[in-house]
Structure 1
């Protein structure tokens, strides 16, 4: 998260919190309020927002306890960040596709989307409007049917998505989708998706690089949601957010240029860029830990 904030140009550090409970069966208003009290006790050192298992309504519940919960629907809230995450991925995908020498337009381009939940659905919407051909998969039939009905997508089974003959693969589900088992199946030219921690291990990034697959690093391309909720801290302005999220295009372009010029995989180029931005702010990165004076 620190690197994501850095490449996005945000004056924030990074952190994640996990509530050890099943969000489908154990989440209650009382549990959310208890978490909110813990967040409030940190007095702004940690700011929470929607993520897997959390909703805008959950943020609204926590806002009754702490102002350090962002992304709510109430006054001044930025709402569901998934649309802006998808918009950033769409911008980054265009940059990666162009960098791969495939053109500037996504019209007619085959995009395989793994996961069409909140972000994946919005990404499908952007791609459909751009004239792309969609091939999708998801473990939840209802989400698949929605995208098929609205955008005319082709559907494949979850375990078949990797081997789909496509131009772009967009992992938009859970992490570690790119690994020693799945990478050999890929027939895409570009990887650009919203999932966090897409590489199972660091060497997977090298494998993609050696195969000539252009990879848009996850935390750089999916930063739109963070940019969206962070905007609340200075007073939310939708137009300014759209303008800033549009810059994900430039960020991905910059990372891929660093990768090409230095002969290193894009995920390493992204880390290098993030570290430089942190150091420019007076921070120090030591073995993955970040210290800011």
Structure 2
């Protein structure tokens, strides 16, 4: 992924990301509730832009802008690669959700989403959950991922983790010749909602699991739920077979790529590469990376299915087929002598290029 220059403005940063520039970026502020949010619509070529709302205590507005531009750009490619008829968008709310989140603030945010008239559909992300989406849904029609009680499909963590698990199986097949994690050691970085679900799937498949997280309470909860899981201060440089980044993005840096002992990198985090050159560094060391926007698409597929009232069993079957997509992408990368990231981008861009660009 391109390195974005913090001194650049909105247009400049969008241009640095890709020739496919953002269609619309909206800054939202409500003095009464303290809301400060940014909604970024990267593309509506395939349909309305869908992407979660991240509630996070960014260091400054520049950091928030960079994150929302990166994430929305990634959502375009995730939707295209997943085969769903949706575009890419994302939103960020600036603040600590443990302190700043209120129903009034979420309601104010929902009203801004509503003003976009369906060009952007929001869902959950870091710092937001189904309860929050239920509140948002009282003020806008353009929301998905609500609780089952509110008519939604519930939390998307399980299907996100399922997609990552099957992506990891495809990676294991490529690296070790068999599509199982049995007997492999997997280091999971980040044991939030998706990480917890992934751990359960890995253990059921016979993997040995070690974990790390900045939240000690989350680590202890995993230990209580799964006593066999080892708690480590770091897993990216630990002696593991698979490194699974499942926290925030950017953990794959030039330095961490040199320290990784794993032969396979596959996780749920978005924007895992700090710089695009990192993939080459991984490849040079014989490490296979499964592109994040392919591996973690299960949650998107769930909420996309919710929008079209699809049968849950049908959606889950679609998510398991991420295995086949990852296998094809890894195979194409090997056949063409390119990185898996480039192969995944080409896979997504074939869909995007088939649509006449109206903007």
> TM tier, shorter chain?
over 0.9
- Shift of residue 236 of structure 1? 4.0
Choose which of 188, 194, 197 in structure 2 pairs with 1:122. Answer: 197
Residue-by-residue CA offset, 1:80-109 (whole Å, 9 max, x unaligned): 111110000000000011011342221111
Q: What SS does structure 1 have at the residue aligned with 2:90?
A: coil
Alignment match, 2:84: 10
Residue-by-residue CA offset, 1:254-281 (whole Å, 9 max, x unaligned): 110111011111111111111012123x
In 2, are the aligned partners of 1:111 and 1:166 still within 8 Å (CA)?
yes
Alignment match, 1:104: 179
Alignment match, 1:191: 265
TM-score under structure 1 length normalisation = 0.94
Q: What SS does structure 2 have at the residue aligned with 1:60?
A: helix
Residue-by-residue CA offset, 1:147-202 (whole Å, 9 max, x unaligned): 22222201111xx3222111111000010010012111111010110000000000
Distance 1:262 1:250 in 2: 18
In 2, are the aligned partners of 1:81 and 1:229 still within 8 Å (CA)?
yes
The answer to whether residue 173 in structure 2 is matched with residue 173 in structure 1 is: no
In 2, are the aligned partners of 1:78 and 1:236 still within 8 Å (CA)?
no
Residue-by-residue CA offset, 1:123-145 (whole Å, 9 max, x unaligned): 00100111110011011112112
- Give the superposed CA RMSD: 1.2
Q: What SS does structure 1 have at the residue aligned with 2:244?
A: strand
Choose which of 153, 161, 170 in structure 1 pairs with 2:235. Answer: 161
Number of equivalences: 283
In 2, are the aligned partners of 1:77 and 1:236 still within 8 Å (CA)?
no
Q: What SS does structure 1 have at the residue aligned with 2:91?
A: coil
Q: What SS does structure 1 have at the residue aligned with 2:327?
A: helix
In 2, are the aligned partners of 1:76 and 1:232 still within 8 Å (CA)?
no
- For structure 1, list consecutive stretches of 5 or more residues without a partner in the other structure: 284-290
Alignment match, 2:292: 218
**Farther off after superposition, 229-238 or 216-225:** 229-238
In 1, are the aligned partners of 2:134 and 2:150 still within 8 Å (CA)?
no
- 1:197-276 map, 5 Å: 197-276=271-350
Q: What SS does structure 1 have at the residue aligned with 2:219?
A: helix
| Change over 3 Å in CA distance of 1:292–1:92 after alignment to 2 | farther
Distance 1:128 1:262 in 2: 35
Q: What SS does structure 2 have at the residue aligned with 1:14?
A: strand
**Farther off after superposition, 72-81 or 24-33:** 72-81
| Change over 3 Å in CA distance of 1:216–1:292 after alignment to 2 | farther
In 2, are the aligned partners of 1:76 and 1:235 still within 8 Å (CA)?
no
Q: Which protein has greater RCO, CA pairs closer than 8 Å, 6+ apart?
A: 1
TM-score under structure 2 length normalisation = 0.77
Distance 2:182 2:339 in 1: 28
- Shift of residue 203 of structure 1? 0.2
Alignment match, 1:90: 165
- Shift of residue 15 of structure 1? 0.6
Q: What SS does structure 2 have at the residue aligned with 1:182?
A: helix
